[in-house]
Amino acid sequence: MKHIKIITSPDQLDTINSRTPFIFICKICKIKQYISGWKDSIRKEKYKRFICSSCSFSLNYPVDRANEKRTRTFNKLYNTDSVGAVKEFQFKIKHSKKIRYGDPNYNNHDKASKTYFDKTGYKTPLNNRTLVEHGMIEKYNVKHPAQNKDILKKMQNTYFERTSYNNPMKNPKVMKQFKNNTMKKYGVKYYFLSDDYKQKMINLYGTPYVPYPKIWRYEYAGSKFDSAWELALWIYAIDHNEEIIREPISFKYIYDGIEHVYIPDFKYKGNYIEIKGSQFFDENGKMICPYSRLHSDGPFFTKSEKKYMDDLYEAKHQCGINNNVLFWGKEEIKPYMDYVENKYGIDYLCKFKIKKK
């Protein structure tokens, strides 16, 4: 191994002879390549591009064309699209495994993972995001399968044919297993209630409890908002040079023996303000969790779990009341909405909507 050269620039190939083994990292798949020698000037120029043979073949021969040729060959020889479907080969593979390992179904995942990790630094090809994204972009022009509507539709149809559900999150068996696994690993049914989750939130946001990640929909003067009502109040205050602070303070409260943190939306004219729509309250004025009701067609939350989430939200509500937070709804926010619509037009949300890149 001490004679093997590690090549990091094309000029280094000019300093070694044609039979000196060397190693380089493919700039496309990022996999370490061992070459026994550059042999001749043609191969030498090819290696100077720092592209492995597999990636070079993919660049020169489109995947569709290669697959079409492979399929024609298999159909001609074996009357099938895949050589793996040929019983003769299946028998030969199992026979070889039985002779070598004593088990016709032998598959050493640990050894395969270790070998791939030694070569690439990843346990499996799927862990190599650069390699996966390159393949997806080359074939479908997207980085992730779910970004392609045709693939996503096919996945949903296939899953529906097998389970009668178009989403695993609506499958009772999947959700039961999901909760059991989370309970075994973290001691709670939902990951966001675990100590591990809270520690990650503290590291990211400085607070141990962020139950739902913010989805920023609008932006005005450098500040982002997830609701049109919050945006309207902010615009009104800024346009009128009024005092307003975004997420000004945090309050701690205890529910079910677990410490949580509540952060009101604004401090406006000296008052703490929380803006909430009517969907967050029941007919008695008690705060509820509307997100648990979004899955009415699936078993994401059981009745007892819905009650737990509702009580958690009401505990947050009481924390706000005890700290003199004002809860504003449609009636309180209407003047600010009217101002923004009059000044910026009824379609003002389109002007401040964050465009997806």
Question: What DSSP line would sit under 112-124, residue for residue?
Answer: HHHHHHHHHS-SS
Rg (CA), the chain: 30
Output helix, strand, coil percentages for the chain, rounded to the nearest 5: 55, 10, 35
Confidence check: pLDDT of 298 > 60 = no
Buried b vs exposed e over 144-163: b needs ≥16 C-beta within 10 Å? eeeebeeeeeeeeeebeeee
Hunting for tokens 């139950």 — which residue is that?
Answer: 211
Q: What percent of the chain has pLDDT over 70?
A: 90
The residue among 269, 274, 298, 300 whose CA lies nearest residue 287 is 274
Residue 41: is it exposed, middle or buried by C-beta count within 10 angstroms (0-12/13-18/19+)?
Answer: exposed
Q: Which of 11-15, 93-97, 196-200, 238-242 has the highest mean pLDDT?
A: 238-242
Helices vs strands, H then E, count in the chain: 13, 11
Q: What is the pLDDT of residues 6-51, one digit of tens each?
A: 888 878 878 887 778 888 888 888 888 878 777 777 677 777 778 8
Mean pLDDT for all residues in the chain:
81
Instruction: Please name the residues in contact with 317: beta carbons below 8 A apart, sequence gap of 6 or more.
Output: 286, 287, 327
Degrees (nearest 5) of the Cα angle 33, 39, 41? 105
Please report which helix (H) or strand (E) contains residue 236, including its range: helix 228-239
Q: What is the pLDDT of residues 189-226, one digit of tens each?
A: 777 778 887 787 777 666 565 555 556 678 887 788 88
Averaged pLDDT, 268-275: 94
Q: What is the pLDDT of residues 159-188, one digit of tens each?
A: 888 888 878 877 888 888 888 888 888 888
